[in-house]
Amino acid sequence: MLMPAILHRFAKGHPKVRINMRDTDSATIAHDLAAGRADIALASLGPHAGFERALLFSDRFGVVCPSDHPLAADWEALTWADLVDIPFIANGLCHYISDPDFRPILDRATLNVSGTAALLSLVRAGMGSRSCPNSPCRTRAQTSPSCRSSMPRSGARFGCSRRQSQG
């Protein structure tokens, strides 16, 4: 789990710094950073003028569906084409998936949801499948629906962004 380790180390080294952490989608984080409502952002943000960005890690996308869903029967053979006729829940990270086989899935999505907790609850309720970076899937394995890892030609880069130093 990425955030607890980062926060623990930071709090230990900076005991008087107050932290207000929000768990939200990358677009909202970018907007808050640009508007000065956030000092740093840990997100899948691309380069922005006036901000420094340090890559933390890259991750491949997988598919999340209920464990009793037919997609979960054969993870190793699963491709994007298998999702074409399955209800799909889109999210802000979908634009990082460059595989042309994914485009018809995204075009058919009638539900777009921000926030991992809401997405996973909808998947658990059988509302559809979704794409998900593998790291959050692995860290939520005990409470999440099934995850399929490493779909082809898909990935996101997660980094730390902050306003460039003045002077």
DSSP for 30-83, written as a single string:
HHHHHTTS-SEEEES----TTEEEEEEEEE-EEEEE-TTSGGGGGGGG--GGGG
Look at the alpha carbons of 118, 121, 123, 127 in this order and tell me if their dihedral is positive or negative: negative
Find the domain containing 81 and state its range.
59-156
Q: What is the pLDDT of residue 142?
A: 45
Work out the burial of residue 29: count CB atoms within 10 Å of its CB; fewer than 13 is exposed, 13-18 middle, 19 or more buried: buried
On whether residue 138 sits in a domain, the answer given is yes
Residue 69 lies in a domain: yes
The answer to whether residue 104 sits within a structural domain is yes
Six-digit token pair at 70?
């037919």
**Average pLDDT, integer, range 136-152:** 53
Confidence of residue 15 (pLDDT cuts 50, 70, 90): very high
pLDDT for residue 154: 62
pLDDT, average across residues 131-137: 61
> pTM, whole model, 2 decimals?
0.68
Any domain includes 66: yes
Question: 93 in a domain, yes or no?
Answer: yes
Confirm whether 113 is domain-assigned: yes
CATH number of the domain where residue 92 is located: 3.40.190.10
Convert the pLDDT of each residue in 21-71 to its tens digit: 877 777 788 888 888 888 888 777 777 778 888 887 777 777 888 878 888
Average pLDDT over residues 78-84: 86
Number of domains forming the structure of the chain: 1
> What are the beta bridge partners of residue 129?
88
On whether residue 23 sits in a domain, the answer given is no
User: Is residue 120 situated within a structural domain?
Assistant: yes
